[in-house]
Amino acid sequence: MYSEAKLSALEGDAIANNILATSYVGKIKVESRILEKASALLTEEAQTPLQCLLLCESRDHTLAMLEINETCHCGQTTLNFRLSGSLEQKEKQQSLLSVYRTNVPDYRCASRRFVPEDTFDPVALVSRPGSGNTWLRYLIESVTGFYTGSVYNDVSLVSKGFLGEFESPKSGRIHVFKDHTTSFKKITRKAIVLIRNPYDVCVAEFNRRKTSHTGVRDKRDFETRPGKVLVVYFEDLLKNHSNELRKIVSFLDITVKNLETRLLCLEDNSAGYFKREAKKEDFDPFNEAQRTEDEDTQDNS
């Protein structure tokens, strides 16, 4: 908890304004069901937005909610309140709560585990480097509660929490393993193929080679071979990862307890620690000749 002196220094400061701006979610009705639990957990009077936010964060709550009369409520995200959903905007201000998201992680989608050997039939997660494979692994682990693996034994990923990285895909202790080539065919006939806009792939892979983590053939190559293939487009993951993850869980043919609850907490923490921050380049890494060549290739295909 911040000291009074620290709070006084922050109040009205540019840093405080930035904290509130980045934490602000929206507004909900005072009579919202979320308050049924929140009010019983913690309610305090005479709080500024910053004080309310820091108070709730210090009590390990994911949400801080402030009434117009400066009554502060602390609570947790629930199925009755989706952070990415539309919040009330047309009600009278007196009947609304300002909602802020604290830095407390939602542990409902944080647990992961191994299973006994030979539990799972392995499924390959195949993509070109830079297609978002590591991010999708994070999403799959978060929504299923099981570790994923890889054929690369990447130490840097282990240090970031991918504890299944060194696990053999053949062990049956992990359900999904990463591969950037078609060598996975020696292990399994079932694959999730992740496809991304090729321009974005090139830029992402260049950034990865220059920094850190945070080949698939054409889709038809997989359709002509025995087995099952699920094609996932990176752009669809960005638009609605919950829908895509439901498809993936169904494809994996596994039972996930509290699936919707895990999807809910991922709505607010879909990036985790394993996705590089998107940065709008102020230049085009592809020259006109390269783009023209690509268009000509498409026209002739």
**Angle at the Cα of 35 from the Cα atoms of 31 and 36, rounded to 5 degrees:** 100
Per-residue pLDDT of 163-191, as tens digits, reads 999 999 999 999 999 999 989 999 999 99
The pLDDT, as a whole number, for residue 188 is 95
Pairing status of strand 72-75 against strand 43-44: antiparallel
The pLDDT, as a whole number, for residue 69 is 72
How do the pLDDT tens digits run along the chain, 301 residues long?
A: 444 444 454 555 677 777 888 888 888 776 655 555 554 456 666 568 888 888 888 888 888 888 877 788 888 776 655 555 445 554 455 567 888 888 887 777 778 999 999 999 999 999 988 888 999 999 999 999 999 999 999 999 998 889 999 999 999 999 999 999 989 999 999 999 999 887 665 655 555 555 544 444 455 555 556 679 999 999 999 899 999 999 999 999 999 988 988 887 787 667 665 544 444 445 455 556 655 555 454 444 4
Q: How far is CA 8 from CA 15, 43, 85, in A?
A: 12, 22, 34
Nearest Cα neighbor of 35 from 84, 85, 78 is 78
The pLDDT, as a whole number, for residue 8 is 52
Cα 153 versus chain centre, distance: 23
Per-residue pLDDT of 81-124, as tens digits, reads 555 544 555 445 556 788 888 888 777 777 899 999 999 999 99
The pLDDT, as a whole number, for residue 49 is 87
The pLDDT, as a whole number, for residue 251 is 96
Four-way CATH pick for 109-278: 3.30.70, 1.10.357, 3.40.50, 1.10.3470: 3.40.50
CATH 3.40.50 domain span(s) along the chain = 109-278
Nearest Cα neighbor of 126 from 225, 203, 256, 209 is 225
Rounded to whole angstroms, the Cα distance separating 213 from 137 reads 12
Rounded to whole angstroms, the Cα distance separating 53 from 174 reads 39
Rounded to whole angstroms, the Cα distance separating 118 from 114 reads 11
The pLDDT, as a whole number, for residue 146 is 96
**Strand-pair partners of 150:** 178
The pLDDT, as a whole number, for residue 256 is 92
Helices (H), the chain: 4-10, 14-23, 34-41, 49-58, 133-144, 155-158, 198-210, 219-223, 234-239, 241-252, 259-268, 288-300
Residue 238: exposure state from Cβ atoms within 10 A (0-12, 13-18, ≥19): middle
CB 140 within 8 A of CB 148: yes
